[in-house]
Structure 1
């Protein structure tokens, strides 16, 4: 009687012949799912290539963001700045809008300088120097008199532009003069950055003092 001492053969190992990355990813996900449910760790997880793969994926993602989002935005900002600088250069080159205000004021002063001991050019430059001085004192020193003078200076300038401009453009010229004065007044009539604190001392009440002394 012979005894069979051979051990029963177990299931043959399954060889993974599918080397495509979707099948490999599916296998790793299944292995991770089984290990998480069995509460045991595997010696072959995480694989050694996972950190380089994550780094390469991060670099590619940043590159795609730079190419798809940042570079078009930078290109648009560059075109906008170039167009803005070009428009500003053209505006400064023409500078014809300043003549809408300066020419009527100079013409008004020249027409109304008869009988004065100074000529029209001296009166004109005196008017310009007064405007620059009032603006500087109102902006730097914030003097009350300079600010009041700047307000009166602006009103007088708009009035002279209105009086010296003829035809349908009178209202437009006066409006442009008022706009120039308002823009400059944003700096001349600005408020200080630091607010002043006012301390008020209340008078002592005799009955309150007596009540506090009684409690002591």
Structure 2
């Protein structure tokens, strides 16, 4: 018979120690379900990917001018990137070739008598000046001399062919620097003669490098000169009309 005694005893089981069941977790959604849903919707008739694919298919018929803006921008970026990569590669090849030219080809001894004749009057002082003032440079004196020589040749040829003012300015600076080096490196007894010959040689070559240079304004044949016409109307100020002179009889009250 079950006892009605509610006093906790040795055989009495406490309810507080019973385990409490936890609620079940909701089932997890399938992995990448949202991505799969977006992919299916994007390829529908009004989806983003479907519209982009239609733009790609119609691009050959539309041409570069009328194709989709995003596709035209993509092609332009790809083209510019390709040009930049090709220019970089070509620049590396050119710089490598120039470095080889400047370091391997010019095997000259600067500062010694390596030229003769009238050309030696200008060439030997330039070599001597470069040898004296290029000791602390990271390049050899022969490389500096070759750069000086190439600068003069390029300025002469391009000035004759292109008639560009920038090339002419380079040629003028090269000539002034050459005359200065000749003046500084030539002994004092023959300095004026050497500098004069350098100026004469540079002036003679300038007839080719500065061909077509003129200070007059160029007028192209068959093209009328631009004349600015500003129509203006000047109205002279009229002087005030003199007042009519009044006769003394006009103010008489007894006049008929």
Task: Report 1 or 2 for greater relative contact order, CA contacts < 8 Å, sequence distance ≥ 6.
Answer: 1
| Greater percentage in helix | 1
Larger Rg: 2
* Length-normalised TM-score, structure 2: 0.41
